[in-house]
Amino acid sequence: MWMMRQSTRRVLDFSARCASTTIVPAPTSLPRFKLRTGDTIPSIGMGTFTGTRLTQQAQPGDMYENVKRWIRLGGRMIDCAQNYLNEDEIGDAIADCISEGIVTREDLFISTKLNNPYHRREHVRPALEKSLLDLRVDYVDLFLMHWPTAFKYVPYDATKRGFPVDYEPDQCSKVTGVLWKDYDGSWPPPHLDMSVTIHETWDAIVDCHKQGLARNIGVCNFQLALLHELMCGSEFVPHVVQNESHPYLQQWDQLEFCQKNNIQFMAYSPLGYGTFAGADRPRVLTNPIIKKIADKHGKSTAQVCLQWCVQRGVNTMPFSLIEIELRENLSVGTWELDDDDMVSIKSLDNSFHYLNPKEWYGLPLWN
C-alpha cells in the first residue's frame, strides 16, 4: 500500500529519485517464510499501491522506475493488484530486469489480486490472465481475492496491456451511471453484485491454482468470521491472508488463527496509511514510543515497525519512492527488537483501521 514516511526527503522531485542504482544481490539476512506449498516468501516486499482510478497520485513511469530500483537493490517480492492500474508498468520493469540478467523469473515472488468486478466464476480466470498479460509472466506466485465483495462486471479489452483512462472499476460508475458518494437510493447500491458469494469466487481461484496460473492463493480483508466461513465451505485452505496491520492494529487473534491453520499472515500498510490517512488520523511513524525504540537502536521508526512485523512471523510490503528507504526496508533481519520493545509496541494496539470501505462503497466490513 502507498506509504509516505513524512520525511524531508519526500520533497525531492522524481528525477532526483531515479539516479542509477548499483545492482546488489538479495540480502541473505532477510528472513523468508515457508508456505504450505513449499514455496518461500520474502519477509519484506515492495507495495505498489499509488491510488486507484479515483485517487491516483503517481505519474506515468513512476512504478516502472521504482520496480527496477527495488530489484537492483536486491528486493525480490512485488505485491501488485489489478485495481492499482499499474501492472503493465510493473511488467515492463520485471521483463527488463530479467532481460538485463539482474534476476530470473524464479528469483521473484510476484503477487496480484482479483478486482471486485470479476468475482463471478466465469470472470476469475480471465481477470487473472489479464494480470499475467500486463505483468508479462506466465504465472504469479500468489493470487489473492482483494476484497470479499463482488461488484457489477466492468468490461475491458483482454487483448491489450493496461487500461484506458475511462476504465473505472472502483465503483463501476461507467456501468451504473453513478458514484457511491452521489447515490442516495435504497440498499443495495447499484455497483454491488449481491448474487455472488465468496465461495463461488474462491472455488474459481482454487481452479486457477490447480491449473498452474497461481502457485499460491489467498484472500485479503477477511475478518475472522468470514475466513472461518470460507474455510467451512471449501476443502482448500488459503495459503496467505493479507490484512491491514500495524502497531495501532496488531491483529493478534487473526495471527494466532492463521498460525494454527498454517496460513501465512501478511500485513499491508505496516507503517500506517500515509497520504491517504487524512490529517486527523494518528501517525504510526511519529508515535513517541516507537520513536524512543528507534533512537535506542539507532534505526528509523519505519525500520522498527517492519522489524516488529517480521519478529511476529508476519511478512509485509511497504511502499516508498526513496532509495534510502527501500534500502532500509531490506535491512530487516540484521538486528532485533528486544522483549521490552515488543511489550511496549504491543501496548499501542487500539484496533484502529486506516482503511474504511464504508466510505468507498457503503459496506462497514470491520463492524
By annotation, the residues acting in catalysis are 84
Are the beta carbons of 128 and 214 closer than 8 angstroms?
yes
First CA to last CA distance, the chain: 22
d(CA 158, CA 133): 9
Are the beta carbons of 264 and 258 closer than 8 angstroms?
yes
Length of the chain: 367
d(CA 160, CA 333): 41
Measured between alpha carbons, how far is residue 73 from residues 136, 189, 220, 327 in Å? 21, 45, 28, 7
| Chain-centre distance for alpha carbon 78 | 9
Map residue 341 onto helix, strand or coil: helix
Of residues 141, 146, 143, 163, the one with CA closest to residue 154: 163
Torsion of CA 275, 327, 94, 43, to 10 degrees: -90
Phi (first) and psi of residue 142, to 5 degrees: -150, 130
Map residue 352 onto helix, strand or coil: coil
Q: What is the DSSP string of 47-74?
A: E-----TTT--PPTTHHHHHHHHHHHTT
d(CA 102, CA 201): 36
Residue 319 has which C-alpha cell?
511502499
d(CA 327, CA 303): 10
